[in-house]
Structure formats: structure tokens, C-alpha cells
Amino acid sequence: MAEQAKPEGYFTHAQSHSSNKLEKNASKSRGSGSPFKCIGLGLAQQIKSEKDEDLTAARLRIEELESLAANRQKEIFALNARLATTESMTHDVIRDLLGVKLDMTNYVSVLDNQQVQKITEKARLSSLESQVKEHDIVKLKQQLDEFVAERQGWLEEIDRKQAELVAAEVALEKLRQRDQLLKTENEMLKVENVNYKKKVMELEGEVKKLSGQQNLQQRIHHHAKIKARLLHFPVVAKFGDIELHPKEENNTLKVQNEDLSAKLRRSEVVLSRVREELAHYRASIGKNPHINIDEEQRLNNRLRESNDDRVQLAQKLLGLCTSVLKAAGITKPISDICPAAAEEALDQLKNKVISLERELQTLTLKGDVKISKLKNRDGKLRLNAGGGASALSTKCVQSSEKSKKEVRIGLLGASGYTGAEIVRLLANHPYFGITLMTADRKAGQSMGSVFPHLITQDLPTLVSVKDADFSNVDAVFCCLPHGTTQEIIKGLPRHLKIVDLSADFRLRDIAEYEEWYGQPHSAPDLQKEAVYGLTEILREEVKSARLVANPGCYPTSIQLPLVPLIKAKLIEHQNIIIDSKSGVSGAGRGAKEANLYSEIAEGIYSYGVTRHRHAPEIEQGLSDAAQSKVTVSFTPHLMPMIRGMQSTIYVEMSQGVTVEDLYQQLRKYYEGEEFVKLLDKGVVPRTHNVRGSNYCFMNVFPDRIPGRAIIISVIDNLVKGASGQALQNLNIMLGGYDAELLNGKSFPTILKDSFQYLEAQKCSLTIKQNRVIQNTKPGICFAMNMARGQSGDPEKINFDHIIEKARRLWDNTPLPVKRFPWNRALDNFVQLILDLILAVIKYLSAPLLAVLALSEMSYCAHQKKLKIIPVPLLVGFVLVGILKETALELSPLLKDAEVPWHLIAIAILFTLIKLPGPYYPYWGRIFIPHFANGALLRTLWLMFSWYRRPKEISGAVLPNSSVTGNNSESE
């Protein structure tokens, strides 16, 4: 440091001083005429030349040292600055620690027996509160069970009533059709019945006349008998204007009665003939001659009863939904209450129960922490200041959550891409917990140091395979390279369920394995036991297996679309051409020259042409489906992308088979599968749409060559092509696990929920079966730095934190604020702004137009062209009228519209024409602005007339009503 601090002139001064000293010494003579003088001068000159060379080298060295010293000085200054910053931070930390220590000392000094009793009382009250919450949770669970049972009963009754209603509606529809036919028949017969009705009316008139005459004759005859008895003289009856003897009168009446009876008989014959003709006509058209009025009445009554039952059932369902919403604390108008809202409320109640259980667990842990603090209080606090209790609570919660995992997973080869994907997928699995992770090259390191995106996960430390302890493991994922798995799996305990992601157990023929992989198979017994794990094709075989050989990525994307078609014999087994493209991650994480960025970027690379190791695996699966030998032409390509895989397959269809048959076969085969999706017709699958998911998207297209078809399938090579399918296989292998521990939830459903979490992982909310729950773990992005950066990066916005704060703020918002109709208020606010804009336009448009017109007229006056201004004004005035009439003819609905949209459009058009007025040429500047002024003037007048037009009042016709009133009064 002292040498570096010396000034620059120091060295030059020292050099000059030494040179002068040498010259003085050299000038000294040993005596005049001495022979040593020449020798001395020669030596001095030689020494001087050597010194000059040394001085030159020293100068260069000094310059280098000076530059180095300057650089070191800058480094020293930077280090001093950092040291000062560190010291200031250290002082701040020490000050904070001293303050914390002082607070803790004060707390310990102040804490006495009375405070201990208070804390004990608080702990007891918190335990009582936890008991009360447990009681409330039990009640809520009982209410939920009752609601679910009652809802199931109502649903069954609704289905039954719905079936009865459908049957009644069918019968009613038949009756309506019959009534319609009868109406048409009656209309046809009305003309024929007119004459018969006239005849019947005449006969009825004659019958009335005859009955009146008969009654008159009976009265006359009765009075005549009485008079004959009293007076004993012949009785003479006057009948009309003719006087008759009683006997003659009786004879006349008898004749009239006979005539009347004959007429009645004739009328009955006519009526019976009419009925017979009607019945004959109905029989001729295939209808029942007689109408069953009783059956029709019975069906109508049944329909009326079913409608009444339906109304009652709807009222009961409405009451049930209302009670569910009330229990969930949701208030809605009656018009918005529906079963869907009730189901959402039930889901919310379930979420509340889950949150209450978590709160109860947290309160219990906090109570335990408080009790431990009281017990360990002897002047020292064992918990760290500033959040030690919360850290302990968090660890207790994590350990308790980890202890809840029923299936303990071991992961061999965790430092590779497939191992990292398994860790990512298991992060949200409710029943699988990782207890063992091995990686020989990374032994002793944490998973977070190997893959930083997994740093927030509670994972065991990586160990080597030879040091692995399998006593705490139930199932194993083996992600080791090809050729190393056989010996390791042979040494594993027999009780373990194993899913091998290597190719060591995929080929059943050991000789074929040795041919394609170039090494002997060291576990032939395990090869006989292994089951090929193409999940959607061999689900039953996987279910009972102990060792599953997980398929490769290429075979998965190829066999899933081809196996169903080959089994159905819809395609030929020959001439199958497969063109597959994969991301770089399929080659593994090892450093290889062919996988360098400079070798892959901006190009496509074909590899393993005719000799790819997946070819025998593909042919083995297709041959099993065809029950005969199948050979394919398979060429893989390496694409400049990280993950994803697409297989384009060219097949020849069987005789008489169409592309539609292939599409329907795939749709039928994978109809119930969750992770294999057949896209809509014409939609091309894309690798971007399956990135990070366990889905396989596929579709079928017709080829230009007749009789051939093109099949495209896409997957994520690390998920569906490896880790995701391995997790599917392990779920199926453990499908016989204790159902009580799983609460009736199957493992495939759990896997589905896990993948739904992975698809929604970009935010802090997880979508699970139509309900939203809080994600208790930090979001996990894709491996290999394939997605967003870490949330702790200061240059990135932590959207998860913002969303979580917004959710908490909304949850803590008072209920009246939540119930406030914000949507309607926003609509009213937007409407107010629009009304203000329209009002400003309405009242300022005319003055603004006048000002602009005057300025343009001044220009015309300056150019002495005022006389020609009326011409463009009139043209624009007339043109607007033509445009208005044309718009009304093209769209008659504009006549009754509340807003004159056609006039607004015309105004906008001519405003745009008017705006560039000063930039028009000479005559354009004179004619076009005034032309637009005339058009705008006419448009404003039409708008004024539009809003001043009389409003039609529907349903009120005053003149007719007044006339009707006058008529009624006159009557």
C-alpha cells in the first residue's frame, strides 16, 4: 500500500540520481596516464548501457504496476463502499437485535405470576373456542349431510315426476293430434250437416206446433166432458173458427197425433242416418267411429294433476335452494335462485368446513406453542424473536401435512428432467409424499439447489442409490438411464410397487432388447413379470402389476391413435409411415455435443434414421393390437424447442372405410378417458396446447391420395411421454388401496385434480371441480427455466401476492359493501358519461358549426367567391335527405329506434370530410367545407326533429275509447 501511494516522479528522480552518481564515479581517475583509465571508462560505458536497458525495462514494469495499482485502487474503493454498506447494515441488524433483546428482557422482567395466570386463562379460552368450533363443524357437517340427502331425495322425486310428466305430455300430444283431426273432419262435415240441421229445425218447429195443438185438444176435451156431465146436452167445441162435435174433434186430434208421430219418426230416421254416415266416414279414414270422451277427460285430469305436482315440487325445490343459500349466508332475489346456485353454495359450505378445520388445527398448534412457552420460561425464551412461533407453527403444519400422506414415494434418479417433473406433479398430490430421493452425482445436495424452481418444496436430501433406505417407502419411480435399472430393481424389496421410466423392461423379447440396446439383459425374471404401462390401452393389466415398464414418449404419441384403429381393422397393417418431432429435453440432461444450443437452434435434425430404439417398442404394441407382425417406417426429428412432441402418421384405410369411420372409432374408444382428447373436425393439434399437461390431443384428416388418411397427435414428452403417465400407472396400481383412507375418492380423480392445478398454476388460485380454493403452496413453474422466473426477483411483479391481497381485502369487506350492486352502478355511471357527452354535442354542435362556417366564408370572401357558396350548401343539404331515406328503406327498424343511429353516422361521415378543409386544393377548399356544412346543418335539423317527434303510447287509443263511451251512454 505504501509503495502504491508514492508519487509518479519519485521513480524518475531516483533513476536520475543513480545515473549522476555513476557518472561522477566514472569521472574519477586513478591517476593521469594510468592504464586503468581506459578500462574504467569502458566498464563505465558498459555499465551505463546495461543500466539504461534496466531502466527501460523498469520503466515498462513501473507503468504496468501503475495501471495495476490504479485498478487495485478502484477495487479497494469499491470494496470500501461495500464494506461501509455492510457495516451500516450490520449496525442496523445489531441495533434491531439489541432492541429485540431489550424488549425480550423487559417482557421477561415484567412477566409475573399474574400474567402467567392470564396467559394460561387465554390458552384455556382458546381451547374452549377450539372445542366450540369443533362442535360447530360437526353441526355443519350434519347439516350438509342432511342437505345432500334431502337434495338426493328431491332429485329422485323430480326424475320420477319428470318421467310421469313426459308420459302425460306424450298422451296429451296424441290427444291433441286426434282433436286436430277431428276438427278438420268436423270442418269437412259442416257443409254436409247444414241441410240436416235445417231439416231438424223444421221438424222441431213442427213438433212444437203439434205439441201445442195436442195440449189444446186435451184441454178442450176435458172441459167438454165436464160440461156434458153437468148440463146433459150435447157438447159443442169450438176449435179455431170451426165448431166441432166432441167425437169429430177426437177423431181430428187422433189424425193430427198420428201425423205428428210419423214426422217424429222420420226425424229420428234422418238423425240416425246422419250418425251412421259420420261413423262410416271416420271408419273409412282409419279412425275410431266413436270418440272416447271419458279417456280424453281422464288424460286431461292426469295432465292437470301432473302439472300441479310439478308446481309443488318446484316450490319445494325452491324452498330447499333458499334454505341452502341462507345457510351459506347468500341472499339473492327469488328470480335468481336456481339449483346451480344452491350447488355452488354447498361447495362454499364445504370450503368453509375445510377452512374451519384448518383454523382449528392452527389454533391447537398455537395453544401448544403458548403452553410450551410458559413451561420453558426460566428467564430464557426458546423461541426466536420476531416470528419464531409462526415458523414453528408452519413446520408443525408441514410435518402434519406430510404425515397425512398415505403413500410414501421413493424417486431414483431425481436430478434428471423426468425426476423433476415427478416432483412437480406430486407437489399437489393429496396422498403421495416423497420420502426418498437419489442422485449419485448430486448426492448430499438439496433438490432446490439442483432445480431452483423446487426450492420451496419440503423434500428430502439427495442421496446415492447405495445409501438409500427403502424401509420408509411404499412405491418407487425409477428414472435412471437405460442399462442401469435392471441391477438396481433386482435389489429392491419385493413389497414395493415400481414404475420404471427407462427402456430396460419395455421389450418382452430379451434377444430383441440386446440387439437394439447393445448390451445383455441382466434381469430376465423381472422381464417376465413386467407389464407394459400404456395406461389407456392396458389399464386392467397395470392394475394388478408390481413392476410397470413406462412407455417411451414416441411410442405413446404413436400407439394411442393407432391401436384403436388397428383393433377395429379400419386401417391396413402395411405402409404405415410415421414422422415424429420432439423437443430437446427428450434426450436427457446430460451434456452432449449434439444437444448444444449452437447445434440445434434455427434448424431441424433427423436422428436415429431406420435404427431408433423406439421402433421395436412401437412395432411390438401395434403387433399385439393386430395379432400379427406389423412393421412401420419411423423417422424422428429434433426440433429447436425445449419440450413437446408431435407425430404425423400416414395410414392406408381398409376397403370401404372412410375418414369419418376413423374419427368415430377414436371418439368412441376414448370417450370416457380424461387425458386423451379427440379434437373437433378440422382442428390441427398443437404442441403449445399440451405444454406442461398430461393430455394427448389428436385428430384425423383425409389425404389427397384416395384411400389414405393423416393422423396427428401431440403430447408433452416429459409429462404424458414420461412422468405424467408414470403417475397415472402408479395411481392405477394402488387402486385397491383402503377406500376409507381415500374418503371414497379414486386415484385417477386425484391425478386429474393435480393436473388441473398444474394448468392453473400461473396464479395463486387452484380450480378444483367447479370451486375455488386457496393454494397453500407457492406456485411451481416448469423445469429447465421454461416458464416465468422466481417470484422473489425484484425486477418482476409478484402477481400472486397482489391477487392474494385483493382476495383478503374482499373477504374482510363488510357484507353491505359486498351486497352493493356494483355492476348496476357501473352501468349507470357509463350511461351518465354517455348522456353528458351527448348533451355537450347537442348544445355545442350548432355554435361550433356556425363558427367554422364563418371562418370558411371569410376565406371565400378573401378569394371573392362568396357568390358560389349556396351551391355546395344546397348539394349537401339535398344529399343528406337522400341518405336518410335510403337508410330508412334499407333498415325499417331505424324508424322506431330510440337513437337516430343513421343520422349520427351521417354526421360523423361529413365531419370527417370537413376536418381536412385547409389541406384541400384551391377549389376543394372552397367547395368541400361548405358542402359538408350544408350536410351537417341538415343533419342537425333532422336530429332536432327526431327528438321532437310525438311519442306513440302503446295500448291507448283515445278516439276509439271516447266513441265507445258515447255509444255506451247513448245505449
Active site residues: 553
C-alpha cell read off for 93: 441488524
Single-letter code of the amino acid located at 524: P
Task: Measure the CA–CA gap between 194 and 226, rounded to whole angstroms.
Answer: 48
Single-letter code of the amino acid located at 685: P
Strand (E) or helix (H) holding 732? helix 724-733
Give ∠ CA 632-718-587 in degrees, rounded to 5. Answer: 70
Q: Is the separation of the CB atoms in 482 and 502 below 8 Å?
A: yes
> Which bin fits 602, alpha (ψ -120 to 50), beta or left (φ > 0)?
left
Of 527, 832, 559, 864, which Cα lies nearest the Cα of 720? Answer: 559
Q: How many Cβ atoms are within 10 Å of 559's Cβ, its own excluded?
A: 26
Q: Cα-flanking dihedrals φ and ψ of residue 255, to 5°?
A: -60, -45
Strand (E) or helix (H) holding 381? none
Question: 437-440: long-range contacts (C-beta < 8 A, 24 or more apart)?
Answer: 437/410, 437/411, 437/461, 437/462, 437/463, 438/410, 438/411, 438/412, 438/413, 438/414, 438/462, 438/463, 438/464, 438/465, 438/468, 439/413, 439/414, 439/415, 439/463, 439/464, 440/464, 440/465
Going by DSSP bridges, is the β-strand pair 645-652/576-582 parallel, antiparallel, or unpaired? Answer: antiparallel
Of 418, 398, 423, which Cα lies nearest the Cα of 590? Answer: 418
Q: Cα-flanking dihedrals φ and ψ of residue 578, to 5°?
A: -125, 125
Single-letter code of the amino acid located at 495: H
Task: Measure the CA–CA gap between 690 and 692, rounded to whole angstroms.
Answer: 6
What are the counts of helices (DSSP H) followed by strands (DSSP E) for the chain? 26, 17
Q: Is the separation of the CB atoms in 728 and 748 below 8 Å?
A: yes
Residue 574: DSSP 8-state: S
Single-letter code of the amino acid located at 159: D
Q: How many Cβ atoms are within 10 Å of 346's Cβ, its own excluded?
A: 19
C-alpha cell read off for 784: 429447465
Strand (E) or helix (H) holding 436? strand 432-438
Q: Is the separation of the CB atoms in 405 and 431 below 8 Å?
A: yes
> Which bin fits 409, alpha (ψ -120 to 50), beta or left (φ > 0)?
beta
Task: Measure the CA–CA gap between 663 and 712, rounded to whole angstroms.
Answer: 12
Q: How many Cβ atoms are within 10 Å of 144's Cβ, its own excluded?
A: 17
Of 232, 265, 225, 230, which Cα lies nearest the Cα of 249? Answer: 225
C-alpha cell read off for 748: 385417477
Using DSSP's 3-state secondary structure scheme, residue 238 falls into: strand
Of 725, 287, 670, which Cα lies nearest the Cα of 500? Answer: 725
Using DSSP's 3-state secondary structure scheme, residue 965 falls into: helix
β-pair partners for 700: 711
Which residues are CB-neighbours of 705 under 8 A, at least 6 positions away? Answer: none
Angle, helices 113-231/246-284, rounded to nearest 10 degrees: 140
- Cα 529–chain centre separation: 42
